[in-house]
Amino acid sequence: MGALLFERTSRSVELTEIGSRLRDDLQSGYEQIQAGLARAADAARATPKALRVGFVGALAGQVAHRAARRTAADPPGIPVEIREVQVVDATEKLRSEHIDVLLISLPVTAPDVTVGPVLFSEPRMLAVPAHHPLAARTSLTQEDLADVVLLRPPHSGPDSWPADRHPRRTPGGAAISSGAPVETFQEALQQVGAGAGAVIVGAQVLRFYTRPDVVYLPFTDAPPIEWAATWLNINDVPCHRHFARAAVQAAAELDEPPRLWRSP
């Protein structure tokens, strides 16, 4: 190109200003080419390729399986493979093509990921050790996060863990202590039960993740947690949107809509 596009050291590789501008200029065209190739390949297959759907959490798993039955039954009859993924590397599973569609909680801020329609929402809660002083409360506010040690992801990044699950400060500006890193939800609950810290969760925990050593407290001033189907921009093909629509219908038919759940 006649100019330096990368700055390389023994520890890192970064784009130069010219490299960043070139990347931004070409990104849209690259994604269109990749999407066109993917659609042509899908249309050329005599037998529909199995759609690989990943999910994070029990409720998203229920929605995924119900949507899979719909997708397989409705024309063109696309078979679906369901697999669980962990939140810390869920988006990387998309990028590495281990899965085609991911059901995960929002926000998803990765610029290379398309976010489909919201499937369901659930009240936001805080999981605290059963012996913690807050455990005697019936509810709390976001300012109470200053009184806990909040467990954090093992590494930072725009899509390593939902950013609103490990804030650094309360809305009022008070500092929030960071605790030990955790990689899975079950590990997070185990750490909470052991008294190592607290973690922000959705109200589905009341149905799927009750534990004698953990107390779940609803926030009175925090927005709900929303969930959606996502996929890579370069793989924005009709079958992915077809599955997302089926997932919206499946979520609407849940026996107990999570948006209505409240702490006992």
Q: What is the pLDDT of residues 48-103, one digit of tens each?
A: 578 999 999 999 999 999 999 999 888 778 899 999 999 888 888 999 889 999 99
CA distances (Å), origin 126, targets 54, 144, 156, 200: 25, 10, 21, 5
pLDDT band at residue 113 under the 50/70/90 scheme: very high
| Residue 69 or 162, more confident | 69
Q: Which of 77-86, 203-212, 230-239, 250-259 has the lowest mean pLDDT?
A: 250-259
Q: What is the pLDDT of residues 126-144, one digit of tens each?
A: 999 999 999 999 999 999 9
Q: What is the pLDDT of residue 172?
A: 96
Among residues 159, 64, 156, 153, the alpha carbon closest in space to that of 108 is found at 159
